[in-house]
Amino acid sequence: MKHFGGFPSRMNFTSVPNIFFSQLLADIDDVAELKTLLSVIRAIYGKRGYPRFTTYCELADNPALMTSLGGDEALHHALEQGEKRGTLLHAAMEQNGKAEDVYFLNTEKDRTVVEKIKNGELSLPGLSIKPHPCHEMPAEQPNIFGLYEENIGLLTPMIADELREAEKTYPEAWLKDAIKRAVDENKRKWSYIQGILERWAREGKDDGTYQRDIRKTDPDKYIKGKYGHMVQH
């Protein structure tokens, strides 16, 4: 434990709603979610103007938060938990043609703000509402690398190598289904996805395909590769 030297005689303060201490503090058992909620409150109440909000990029640029969480994957998960719990409101927007996630505290006033943003009645400086998929041209389905980044987390060179090996071993449909199952079960880790694929290869998949149906008949070839020691269970 790193020793804290104490609070200075002069310092700034951030307002935290009393309901945080009377209700949420006892309910939130995920430390990452708790840290992220406090960081959102700090970011929002440190601003002026109307409406007050923060963005994913602002939170990701907070060194103290990111160091304590350990990376983007944990931040994504913590924000999703905040939405599910009802502490945060989210609007998917765009900035200079790039996706940007905007977050508000779930207050009565900000619920109205988010509704107006989504209806086009209110705009945020430099941001535009992301078009609804039904108004867009059908997009090409993401490849396995894009699917991993969109649903699991940062695609490191090591993970990219593992995905290339997995593509040689398992059908594309298996890879997509395994990623979806990992997301549904909130196990956003490559090792968990690999475990699903290995089990399907041994025992058969629930859609009726079996080990003999996969492109390579030796799934152990993958776990014997150069990163095999990282995915064995």
Predicted local distance difference test score (pLDDT) of residue 82: 96
Nearest to 66 by CA among 54, 52, 83, 78: 78
Name the DSSP class of 186: T
| β 98-105/128-129 pair status | unpaired
Domain pair 18-135 / 144-231, same fold: yes
Whether cis (ω within 30° of 0) applies to the bond prior to 125 is no
Bridge partner residues of 89 (DSSP): 104
Distance (Å) of CA 176 to CA 171, 172, 183, 185, 197: 9, 6, 11, 14, 10
Interval 5-39: pLDDT, tens:
899 999 888 889 999 999 999 999 999 999 999 99
Task: Determine the residue type at 53.
Answer: F
Distance (Å) of CA 219 to CA 26, 70, 185, 200, 213: 46, 32, 23, 10, 12
Predicted local distance difference test score (pLDDT) of residue 153: 86
Fold of the domain spanning 18-135 = Arc Repressor Mutant, subunit A (1.10.10)
Place of tokens 């089990």: 199
Name the DSSP class of 225: S
Interval 164-183: pLDDT, tens:
899 888 898 899 999 999 99
127 within 8 A of 102, measured Cβ to Cβ: yes
Q: Where are the domains of the chain?
A: 18-135, 144-231
Determine the CATH number of domain 144-231.
1.10.10
